[in-house]
Structure 1
């Protein structure tokens, strides 16, 4: 019922921190997944707690610049009924990573440092839109940075450290509906 009432209320993707000019990049990463196509439905297995198994999908990317010092993987929901997109999950990876295996977007995975978000501290928090709200778009962003964020204690700190230091970026968008 609430989802139906809020169906026309959607976040403004232009208000995402990643839409700011300091997150533009001179190069593009190609981000893919073997389990869903760009703008295609995300399988239920990868949906959030209480909806699916909350297991992160496999992600792959190419064209990381050789001077990359750190990679950031960020998942956001741009259709949440809030003023700005909701950041679900953030992780810092070593610059030589070319992807994340299924289930690897979690604390304890070698080479993956999880950044706490408002949704949880263990890593991946999959799609879980409000029932009846319609189809939500979930963006998996990969940012190649020219420096490593020194303070990774919060999403805000990571984004502040990344601003102006993005060498390349790519996005894979998946959809989910309840």
Structure 2
């Protein structure tokens, strides 16, 4: 597996196609997104990594401030922007009710038992939080946690597909709610 990682070393999705850069998700960068588990640009611990590499698949603690007035819903997108694919892999996609959750405790993004006010959507990998599991030898991978404060709750993708069934790359460009504020936090992991 290390050989494969070295062969793909220069192939990375990059940040051009991540949710942060979608035209419809532009907005003021006034949210501060932080974690008790790692700082921006710091390494993530094994407990937050995928079970297949010995981790616990435990989503990290997340907190945000200030919440813009008029926020109806929060959209959380976690993407691996260094995956050797054309576009970043969505590791988690969730909608958060801001009146029910002021922060997320560790494990709040679990598919089976999400935290209060958390609605888990489909990701590239499945449902719920899927921790880092980069190819061995591929180098450091950046996992970007992006939080968007939306003026209106998201109910469907393209007007007809229920939000719970939509694929991330189909859902994200169809969000029409105004972004009142946004913030991001990047964790790094390498095997």
1:164 deviates by 5.4
1:170 deviates by 0.4
**Poorly superposed stretches of 4+, deviation over 6 Å:** none
How far apart are the structure 1 equivalents of 2:186 and 2:7?
Answer: 25
The number of equivalent residue pairs is 177
Provide the alpha-carbon RMSD of the alignment: 1.5
Q: Structure 1: which 5+ residue stretches go unaligned? A: none
Change (3 A) 1:17 1:127: same
SS at the partner of 1:8? coil
Deviations 1:149-168 (A, max 9, x none): 11222224542443452111
Change (3 A) 1:165 1:128: same
SS at the partner of 1:4? helix
Change (3 A) 1:66 1:157: farther
- Does the CA contact (< 8 Å) of 1:88 and 1:125 recur in 2? yes
The answer to whether structure 1 residue 144 and structure 2 residue 152 are counterparts is: no
SS at the partner of 2:16? helix
The answer to whether structure 1 residue 98 and structure 2 residue 91 are counterparts is: no
1:136 deviates by 0.3
How far apart are the structure 2 equivalents of 1:158 and 1:60?
Answer: 24
Further displaced range: 11-20 or 67-76: 11-20
1:128-143 correspondence to structure 2 within 5 Å:
128-143=133-148
Q: Structure 2: which 5+ residue stretches go unaligned? A: 157-162
Deviations 1:119-168 (A, max 9, x none): 012x1001110011000000011110011111222224542443452111
How far apart are the structure 1 equivalents of 2:29 and 2:39?
Answer: 22
Deviations 1:86-145 (A, max 9, x none): 111111110233211001112332311110123012x10011100110000000111100
1:28 deviates by 1.5
How far apart are the structure 2 equivalents of 1:36 and 1:171?
Answer: 13
1:67-78 correspondence to structure 2 within 5 Å:
67-78=70-81
TM-score normalised per structure 2: 0.87
TM-score normalised per structure 1: 0.93
Instruction: Name the counterpart of 1:43.
Output: 45
How far apart are the structure 2 equivalents of 1:27 and 1:4?
Answer: 36
How far apart are the structure 2 equivalents of 1:162 and 1:38?
Answer: 27
